[in-house]
Amino acid sequence: MSKLSTTTRTALVTGASSGIGAALARALAREGIEVVLAARREAALHELAATIAHDGGKARVLALDVSDPELTFTKIQAIDDEIGGLDLVVANAGVGQQRWAGKLDWQACSQVIDVNVRGAVATLVAVLPRMIERGRGRLVGISSVAQYRGLPKNASYSASKAFLSTFLESLRVDLRHTGVAVTDVRPGFVDTPLSASIPRKPFEIDADAAARLILASITRRQRVLVFPLPMRILGALLTVMPSAIYDPVVGPSKPSSKG
Protein backbone atom coordinates (compact mmCIF):
# COMPACT_ATOMS: atom_id res chain seq x y z
CA MET A 1 0.00 0.00 0.00
CA SER A 2 1.37 3.41 -0.98
CA LYS A 3 1.68 6.35 1.39
CA LEU A 4 -1.05 8.23 -0.50
CA SER A 5 -3.53 5.34 -0.54
CA THR A 6 -3.40 5.06 3.25
CA THR A 7 -5.18 8.44 3.50
CA THR A 8 -6.89 8.64 0.11
CA ARG A 9 -9.40 5.98 -0.94
CA THR A 10 -11.27 7.93 -3.59
CA ALA A 11 -10.54 10.74 -6.04
CA LEU A 12 -12.36 12.75 -8.68
CA VAL A 13 -10.50 14.23 -11.66
CA THR A 14 -12.18 16.60 -14.09
CA GLY A 15 -10.96 16.83 -17.67
CA ALA A 16 -10.01 13.16 -17.36
CA SER A 17 -10.64 12.18 -20.98
CA SER A 18 -7.17 13.21 -22.19
CA GLY A 19 -3.92 15.02 -21.36
CA ILE A 20 -2.91 15.66 -17.77
CA GLY A 21 -6.29 14.52 -16.42
CA ALA A 22 -6.11 11.07 -18.03
CA ALA A 23 -2.46 10.60 -17.05
CA LEU A 24 -3.13 11.65 -13.45
CA ALA A 25 -6.18 9.37 -13.22
CA ARG A 26 -4.07 6.40 -14.35
CA ALA A 27 -1.36 7.31 -11.82
CA LEU A 28 -3.87 7.58 -8.97
CA ALA A 29 -5.45 4.24 -9.90
CA ARG A 30 -2.03 2.58 -9.81
CA GLU A 31 -1.76 3.80 -6.22
CA GLY A 32 -4.86 1.79 -5.33
CA ILE A 33 -7.23 4.77 -5.32
CA GLU A 34 -10.71 4.49 -6.84
CA VAL A 35 -10.94 7.27 -9.42
CA VAL A 36 -14.02 9.07 -10.71
CA LEU A 37 -13.29 10.07 -14.30
CA ALA A 38 -15.19 13.26 -15.15
CA ALA A 39 -15.37 14.96 -18.56
CA ARG A 40 -17.71 15.66 -21.46
CA ARG A 41 -16.44 12.90 -23.76
CA GLU A 42 -18.11 9.87 -22.20
CA ALA A 43 -16.79 7.37 -24.75
CA ALA A 44 -13.19 8.38 -24.03
CA LEU A 45 -13.86 8.04 -20.29
CA HIS A 46 -15.20 4.51 -20.69
CA GLU A 47 -12.12 3.60 -22.71
CA LEU A 48 -9.87 4.97 -19.97
CA ALA A 49 -11.88 3.19 -17.27
CA ALA A 50 -11.45 -0.09 -19.16
CA THR A 51 -7.69 0.47 -19.35
CA ILE A 52 -7.52 1.19 -15.63
CA ALA A 53 -9.56 -1.94 -14.85
CA HIS A 54 -7.33 -4.03 -17.10
CA ASP A 55 -4.33 -2.82 -15.10
CA GLY A 56 -5.98 -3.81 -11.82
CA GLY A 57 -7.38 -0.43 -10.80
CA LYS A 58 -10.87 0.89 -10.10
CA ALA A 59 -12.58 3.73 -11.95
CA ARG A 60 -16.05 5.17 -12.42
CA VAL A 61 -17.29 7.35 -15.25
CA LEU A 62 -19.07 10.66 -14.68
CA ALA A 63 -20.26 12.52 -17.77
CA LEU A 64 -19.73 16.15 -16.78
CA ASP A 65 -19.52 19.52 -18.52
CA VAL A 66 -17.94 21.90 -16.00
CA SER A 67 -19.02 24.91 -18.06
CA ASP A 68 -22.38 24.35 -16.32
CA PRO A 69 -21.34 25.13 -12.71
CA GLU A 70 -24.71 24.42 -11.09
CA LEU A 71 -24.92 20.94 -12.64
CA THR A 72 -21.25 20.34 -11.83
CA PHE A 73 -21.87 21.20 -8.18
CA THR A 74 -24.89 18.87 -8.00
CA LYS A 75 -23.26 15.95 -9.80
CA ILE A 76 -20.11 16.02 -7.67
CA GLN A 77 -22.18 16.06 -4.49
CA ALA A 78 -24.15 13.08 -5.81
CA ILE A 79 -21.02 11.08 -6.60
CA ASP A 80 -19.68 11.97 -3.15
CA ASP A 81 -22.77 10.29 -1.67
CA GLU A 82 -22.52 7.34 -4.03
CA ILE A 83 -18.85 6.58 -3.44
CA GLY A 84 -18.90 7.08 0.32
CA GLY A 85 -17.02 10.36 0.34
CA LEU A 86 -14.41 11.86 -1.99
CA ASP A 87 -11.00 12.17 -0.38
CA LEU A 88 -9.38 14.05 -3.27
CA VAL A 89 -10.86 16.45 -5.84
CA VAL A 90 -8.74 17.63 -8.77
CA ALA A 91 -10.06 20.59 -10.80
CA ASN A 92 -8.14 19.91 -13.99
CA ALA A 93 -10.61 20.71 -16.78
CA GLY A 94 -9.54 23.77 -18.72
CA VAL A 95 -9.68 25.45 -22.10
CA GLY A 96 -7.33 27.87 -23.81
CA GLN A 97 -7.70 30.42 -26.54
CA GLN A 98 -5.14 32.56 -28.30
CA ARG A 99 -6.54 35.80 -29.67
CA TRP A 100 -5.15 39.28 -30.07
CA ALA A 101 -6.90 41.63 -27.63
CA GLY A 102 -8.09 43.89 -30.43
CA LYS A 103 -10.28 41.05 -31.73
CA LEU A 104 -11.69 39.81 -28.43
CA ASP A 105 -15.43 39.58 -27.95
CA TRP A 106 -17.55 38.48 -25.01
CA GLN A 107 -18.39 35.06 -26.43
CA ALA A 108 -14.71 34.20 -26.79
CA CYS A 109 -13.94 35.34 -23.25
CA SER A 110 -16.98 33.68 -21.68
CA GLN A 111 -16.01 30.23 -22.96
CA VAL A 112 -12.73 30.41 -21.05
CA ILE A 113 -14.31 31.94 -17.94
CA ASP A 114 -17.12 29.37 -17.82
CA VAL A 115 -14.70 26.43 -17.73
CA ASN A 116 -11.52 27.78 -16.11
CA VAL A 117 -13.17 29.96 -13.48
CA ARG A 118 -16.79 29.05 -12.80
CA GLY A 119 -16.33 25.35 -13.53
CA ALA A 120 -13.16 25.09 -11.45
CA VAL A 121 -14.74 26.84 -8.47
CA ALA A 122 -17.88 24.68 -8.61
CA THR A 123 -15.65 21.58 -8.70
CA LEU A 124 -13.52 22.65 -5.74
CA VAL A 125 -16.31 23.78 -3.40
CA ALA A 126 -18.89 21.08 -4.20
CA VAL A 127 -17.91 18.82 -1.31
CA LEU A 128 -15.62 21.17 0.63
CA PRO A 129 -18.02 21.59 3.60
CA ARG A 130 -18.31 17.80 3.78
CA MET A 131 -14.52 17.42 3.78
CA ILE A 132 -14.32 19.87 6.67
CA GLU A 133 -16.95 17.88 8.58
CA ARG A 134 -14.96 14.70 7.94
CA GLY A 135 -11.77 16.44 9.05
CA ARG A 136 -9.82 15.35 5.99
CA GLY A 137 -9.56 15.88 2.25
CA ARG A 138 -7.41 17.26 -0.53
CA LEU A 139 -8.20 19.89 -3.13
CA VAL A 140 -5.98 20.34 -6.19
CA GLY A 141 -6.36 22.95 -8.90
CA ILE A 142 -4.44 22.80 -12.17
CA SER A 143 -3.50 26.41 -12.86
CA SER A 144 -0.60 27.43 -15.14
CA VAL A 145 2.60 29.46 -15.27
CA ALA A 146 0.45 31.76 -17.42
CA GLN A 147 -1.00 33.07 -14.17
CA TYR A 148 2.15 35.06 -13.33
CA ARG A 149 1.63 37.82 -15.92
CA GLY A 150 -0.78 38.72 -18.70
CA LEU A 151 0.58 36.92 -21.76
CA PRO A 152 0.08 38.31 -25.29
CA LYS A 153 -2.98 36.89 -27.04
CA ASN A 154 -3.98 35.17 -23.79
CA ALA A 155 -5.94 37.78 -21.85
CA SER A 156 -8.77 35.43 -20.85
CA TYR A 157 -6.55 32.42 -20.22
CA SER A 158 -3.91 34.22 -18.15
CA ALA A 159 -6.59 35.99 -16.12
CA SER A 160 -8.53 32.77 -15.51
CA LYS A 161 -5.43 31.01 -14.20
CA ALA A 162 -4.48 34.01 -12.04
CA PHE A 163 -7.96 33.82 -10.54
CA LEU A 164 -7.61 30.10 -9.86
CA SER A 165 -4.20 30.42 -8.19
CA THR A 166 -5.42 33.27 -5.97
CA PHE A 167 -8.60 31.35 -5.14
CA LEU A 168 -6.56 28.29 -4.15
CA GLU A 169 -4.27 30.40 -1.99
CA SER A 170 -7.22 31.85 -0.08
CA LEU A 171 -8.66 28.37 0.41
CA ARG A 172 -5.31 27.12 1.69
CA VAL A 173 -5.01 29.93 4.23
CA ASP A 174 -8.58 29.49 5.48
CA LEU A 175 -8.40 25.70 5.72
CA ARG A 176 -5.02 25.44 7.44
CA HIS A 177 -6.38 23.85 10.62
CA THR A 178 -9.24 21.82 9.15
CA GLY A 179 -7.41 18.74 7.85
CA VAL A 180 -8.14 19.73 4.24
CA ALA A 181 -4.98 20.28 2.16
CA VAL A 182 -4.86 22.54 -0.90
CA THR A 183 -2.36 22.32 -3.76
CA ASP A 184 -1.96 24.83 -6.58
CA VAL A 185 -0.33 23.20 -9.62
CA ARG A 186 1.21 25.56 -12.18
CA PRO A 187 2.51 23.60 -15.18
CA GLY A 188 4.56 25.01 -18.00
CA PHE A 189 4.12 23.48 -21.43
CA VAL A 190 2.77 19.92 -21.36
CA ASP A 191 2.20 17.86 -24.49
CA THR A 192 -1.62 17.74 -24.46
CA PRO A 193 -4.46 18.53 -26.90
CA LEU A 194 -4.82 21.92 -25.16
CA SER A 195 -1.34 23.01 -26.25
CA ALA A 196 -1.33 21.34 -29.66
CA SER A 197 -1.89 24.60 -31.58
CA ILE A 198 0.94 26.49 -29.87
CA PRO A 199 3.91 26.70 -32.28
CA ARG A 200 6.76 27.13 -29.77
CA LYS A 201 6.70 25.25 -26.45
CA PRO A 202 10.01 25.59 -24.60
CA PHE A 203 10.86 22.99 -21.95
CA GLU A 204 7.78 20.92 -22.85
CA ILE A 205 7.24 17.64 -20.98
CA ASP A 206 4.77 14.83 -21.64
CA ALA A 207 1.56 14.24 -19.69
CA ASP A 208 2.83 11.16 -17.85
CA ALA A 209 5.85 13.09 -16.52
CA ALA A 210 3.52 15.89 -15.41
CA ALA A 211 1.26 13.37 -13.66
CA ARG A 212 4.18 11.91 -11.72
CA LEU A 213 5.16 15.37 -10.45
CA ILE A 214 1.58 16.20 -9.49
CA LEU A 215 1.11 12.86 -7.72
CA ALA A 216 4.27 13.45 -5.69
CA SER A 217 3.09 16.94 -4.73
CA ILE A 218 -0.30 15.59 -3.58
CA THR A 219 1.42 12.92 -1.49
CA ARG A 220 3.63 15.55 0.17
CA ARG A 221 0.65 17.90 0.66
CA GLN A 222 2.70 20.52 -1.19
CA ARG A 223 1.20 24.00 -1.30
CA VAL A 224 2.39 25.12 -4.74
CA LEU A 225 3.97 23.08 -7.53
CA VAL A 226 5.56 24.83 -10.52
CA PHE A 227 7.21 22.73 -13.21
CA PRO A 228 9.46 22.16 -15.05
CA LEU A 229 12.34 23.86 -13.21
CA PRO A 230 13.15 26.45 -15.94
CA MET A 231 9.53 27.61 -15.83
CA ARG A 232 9.69 27.88 -12.04
CA ILE A 233 12.68 30.20 -12.39
CA LEU A 234 11.02 32.15 -15.20
CA GLY A 235 7.85 32.58 -13.13
CA ALA A 236 9.84 34.02 -10.24
CA LEU A 237 11.56 36.47 -12.59
CA LEU A 238 8.30 37.54 -14.21
CA THR A 239 6.74 38.48 -10.88
CA VAL A 240 9.45 41.07 -10.19
CA MET A 241 9.98 42.36 -13.73
CA PRO A 242 8.83 46.01 -14.09
CA SER A 243 6.03 46.57 -16.61
CA ALA A 244 8.24 49.04 -18.47
CA ILE A 245 10.51 46.11 -19.34
CA TYR A 246 7.89 43.34 -19.52
CA ASP A 247 5.53 45.02 -22.00
CA PRO A 248 7.97 45.59 -24.90
CA VAL A 249 9.76 42.28 -24.32
CA VAL A 250 6.71 40.00 -24.57
CA GLY A 251 4.28 42.15 -26.54
CA PRO A 252 4.02 42.58 -30.32
CA SER A 253 5.70 45.55 -31.90
CA LYS A 254 2.48 46.49 -33.69
CA PRO A 255 -1.22 45.48 -33.73
CA SER A 256 -1.84 42.00 -35.10
CA SER A 257 -3.63 41.46 -38.39
CA LYS A 258 -4.38 37.87 -37.37
CA GLY A 259 -6.59 36.43 -34.64
| Dihedral in degrees, nearest 10, Cα atoms 24, 210, 66, 223 | 100
DSSP track, 14-55: ESTTSHHHHHHHHHHHHTT-EEEEEES-HHHHHHHHHHHHHT
The conformation of residue 184, written as its DSSP 8-state character, comes to E
C-beta separation of 78 from 52 below 8 A: no
Among residues 95, 117, 127, 157, the one annotated as catalytic is 157
The conformation of residue 257, written as its DSSP 8-state character, comes to S
Residue 157 bears catalytic tag: yes
Give CA separation, 228 vs 86, 127, 196, 206, 218, in Å. Answer: 29, 31, 18, 11, 16
Task: Count Cβ neighbours within 10 Å for each residue of 92-126 and write b for 16 or more, e otherwise.
Answer: bbbbbbbbeeeeeeeeebeebbbbbbbbbbbbbbb
Catalytic residue numbers, as ranges: 157
